[in-house]
Amino acid sequence: MLVLTRKTNESIQIGDDIEMKIIAVDGEQVKIGIEAPKHIDIHRKEIYLDIQKENNAAVGAGSLDILEKLSQQMKKN
Amino acid sequence: MKLQTKHLGEVDIQQEEIYQFEQGLPAFEEETAFVLLPFSNDNIFFILQSVNNPELAFVVANPFHFFNDYQVKLSDSVLEQLAIEKEEDVAIFSVLTLEEPFNKTTANLQAPIVLNASKNKGKQFVLTESDYQTKHSLFPQQAQTAENEKGGR
């Protein structure tokens, strides 16, 4: 991993069109501003990992029997 | 064309029913083509079936049926990626994680499936600034009761 040292208001340029700027540093918290093209999705890493995990759980989960029961339940309501 | 599906056997689909997910979905980044198949005629439950992988299918539901006040604010980047021009072209679904018993099933409200019907583009959109999570119970009260009963045994 490349490690660079930056101060507040200094930036890092990644490729032609991505800029990451240190906006503020407050104790353990660092506020980062990111400019990137709209086709690039930016996520908090742990949230992205959560979504991956849930998608894996979703495709592995349950049988269609459960969905049948769900569907029956909705007809009752 | 004929399509082999995980849950519904062989179904007949039209080329124009296929949604392109250019970036795939988190954990399934290489799966870029899906069709939305109704599970029943209730307009609530659907199967999001991969076109290229018969074994890969998500069960999805209309979230507004279960969560009246659910709100999804699409970012400029999603509007652009899906080439969304009109609100009425957009459909939102939640991925379900089926659980036994069925009333413990959860919906992922943090990362809704967004479809643009007029351009046949889709994406799983991860909400960054929201309180929604990956597991919301479809039947919060019943799930609670089931949990209590289990605890009592």
Q: Which two tokens stand for residue A30?
A: 């660092």
Q: Are residues A5 and A31 in the same domain?
A: yes
B147: in domain: no
Q: Can you give the pLDDT at residue B55?
A: 92
**Domain span at A21:** 1-37
Q: Which two tokens stand for residue A14?
A: 């990644």
Structure ipTM? 0.89
Q: How far is CA B135 from CA A11, A39, B110, B112, in A?
A: 37, 27, 8, 12
Q: How far apart are CA B137 and CA B107, in angstroms?
A: 6
> Which of chain B's residues have a Cβ under 8 Å away from the Cβ of A51?
26-27, 108, 110-111, 124, 126, 134
Please indicate whether, in this complex, the C-beta atoms of A51 and B134 are within 8 angstroms of each other.
yes
**Domain span at B52:** 2-137
How many domains are there within chain A?
2
| Distance from the A39 Cα atom to the nearest Cα atom in chain B, whole angstroms | 6
Please give the backbone phi and psi of residue B117, each rounded to the nearest 5 degrees, phi first. -65, -30
Q: Can you give the pLDDT at residue B153?
A: 45
Q: Can you give the pLDDT at residue B130?
A: 87
Residue A37, C-beta contacts closer than 8 angstroms, at least 6 positions apart: A17, A18
| Distance from the A10 Cα atom to the nearest Cα atom in chain B, whole angstroms | 24
Buried b / exposed e over B20-43, threshold 16 CB at 10 Å, is bbebbbbbbeebbbbbbbebeebe
Q: What is the CATH number of the domain that holds B101?
A: 2.30.290.10
Q: Can you give the pLDDT at residue B150?
A: 57
Q: Can you give the pLDDT at residue B152?
A: 47
Q: How far is CA B137 from CA A14, A29, B59, B94, B117, in A?
A: 41, 33, 15, 12, 28
B57: in domain: yes
Closest residue, chain B, to A63 (C-alpha): B98
| Cis preceding-peptide flag for B101 (omega within 30 of 0) | yes
pTM of the full predicted structure? 0.89
| Distance from the A27 Cα atom to the nearest Cα atom in chain B, whole angstroms | 22
Q: Are residues A33 and A1 in the same domain?
A: yes
Q: Are residues A24 and A55 in the same domain?
A: no
Position A65 confidence tier, pLDDT thresholds 50, 70, 90: confident
How many domains are there within chain B?
1
Q: Can you give the pLDDT at residue B24?
A: 96
B148: in domain: no
More confident position, A32 or B142: A32
Sites in chain B below the pLDDT cut of 70: 142-153
Q: Are residues A33 and A48 in the same domain?
A: no
